[in-house]
Structure 1
């Protein structure tokens, strides 16, 4: 097994990020596999090097050790997206050679006004620029983004938590952007190229990314890679039903650490709230690896306590 945790360095790690990291670590350690830490900083405007450094520090403090990453040499590096642009260019050239890459000149306002909403997560592009002629394209002055034209094809996979998924590409994702108008590579292309090139066999991530999986599998198949097995997990949310955010005060790992909490208490709290252990008690890392079962995770999002700091303190009862 080759699993990966791939955080975006756009803020300090919060409890929701730690939840996913913990489950990635747990899945790999239980299988005796290799855990890859990859920094997904393809969004250059929002990503900061000091946040990337903080990710490594917080993960190390939590005791969620990795086997390959920015600070550990490995055969599949580099492990930072901004150092992998050459690999993305190869995939982009492949799409161009297949005749399915095309420039899109549509404004964001137009896309939102004419595209069909999909599952409340994103809009499905109507393909307006795909049929545009050469003369019409030459007359355009706006710098285009680049989209890939998807075929009328089903992509099926079995998710480790949410079961069988069947996605018809034109209605599940539509023609999607692989390079933005500002020249930056889009998330879908970068992630598919990274997972394929790094020989990742298992992907565990938040269920909010479930709707992105079909297009990533399709891109990997086009490039000749074997798609990994996917497990999408419920998110941690507050009592108002809001997913945890890096902008929320008091739930960052740094804030919890500064309040005097230790890593065992935090991991034990997440394991208990997520239904991985039955007792609200303090567990060692070794006990969590032995006792937690990913198959026990329910599909509903997990509501954390309003006073999460006090709730985690209560976990400090040894077994």
Structure 2
């Protein structure tokens, strides 16, 4: 097994990040596999080295060690996306040779106007620029983004928590962006190239990315790699149903540490709230690795206590 934890260094690690990292670590360690740490920093405006350094410090404090990564190297490096741009260029060239890559000149306003047919659904691109002639493209006065034209095909897979999934690509994702108009590589391209080239066999991540999986599987396989097995896990949410996130200032690991929490209490709290252990107690990390049952993960999101610090310290 080769698993990976792939955070974006756009803020300090919060409890929701730690939950996913913990589950990634458990999955790989229980299988005796290799855990890869990859910094997904293609968002150049928001990604910062100080956040990447802080993420690694927090993971080390939690005891969630990795086998390959930015600080350790390995056979599949580099482990920071900004150092992998030449590899993404190679993937774009492969898509170009296959006749699947085309420029898109749609404005943000037009894309927003496409809308989604039902509440909670993602907007799917309508293919407006796919049929443009060479003359029409030459007349455009703006830099395009680049989209990949998906086939009229369905992708199916069995998720480790949410079971069988099937998506008809033109309806599920449509032609999606692989390079933005500002020249930055899109997440869908970068993550697919990285998982394929790094030989990742198992991907565990938040359920918010479940809807992206079919297009990533298709792209990984088109580029000639076997698709990983996927497990999408429930999110941590507050009492009002809002997911813990950097933007919503979910409680950080740094603040928990500074407030007197210890790593075993933090991880034991997560294990109990997530249903991985049946008794609320403080377990050493080594015991958590033995006790936690990943098959017990439920599909419902996990509500954390209003006073998280107090709840963790009470474990």
**TM-score bracket relative to the smaller structure:** over 0.9
How far the C-alpha of 1:112 sits from its partner, in A, is 1.5
Q: Is the 8 A contact 2:15 2:250 kept in 1?
A: no
Aligned-residue CA RMSD in angstroms? 1.1
The two structures have a TM-score, normalised by structure 1, of: 0.97
Contact 2:114 2:123 in 1 (8 A): no
2:178 aligned partner: 178
Residue number in structure 1 paired with 2:58: 58
Q: Distance in 1 between matches of 2:159 and 2:118?
A: 19
2:168 aligns with 168
Question: 1:93 maps to which residue?
Answer: 93
Shift of 1:122: 2.8
How many Å separate the matches in 1 of 2:313 and 2:216? Answer: 40
Q: Distance in 2 between matches of 1:122 and 1:82?
A: 28
1:237 aligned residue: 237
> Which residue number corresponds to residue 24 of structure 1?
24
1:215 lines up with 2:238 in the alignment? no
> With structure 2 as the length reference, what TM-score do the two structures score?
0.98
**Structure 1 residue matching 2:36: 3-state secondary structure:** strand
Alignment of 1:81-120 (within 5 A): 81-117=81-117, 120=120
- CA deviation profile, 1:17-74 (whole Å, cap 9, x unmatched): 0000000000000000000000000110110110000010000000000000001120
Q: Distance in 1 between matches of 2:62 and 2:265?
A: 10
Question: Unmatched 5+ residue regions in structure 2?
Answer: none
Match of 2:128 in 1: 128
* CA deviations over 1:283-316 (Å, ceiling 9, x no partner): 111111111111101000000000000000111x
CA distances 1:213-237 after superposition (whole Å, capped 9, x unpaired): 0010001111110000000000000
Give the 4+ runs in structure 1 shifted more than 2 A. Answer: 115-122, 247-250
The answer (yes or no) to whether the contact 1:104–1:129 under 8 Å persists in 2 is yes
1:12 is matched with which residue?
12
Task: Give the unaligned 5+ runs of structure 1.
Answer: none
TM-aligned CA deviation for residue 120 of structure 1 = 2.2
3-state SS, counterpart of residue 103 of structure 2:
strand
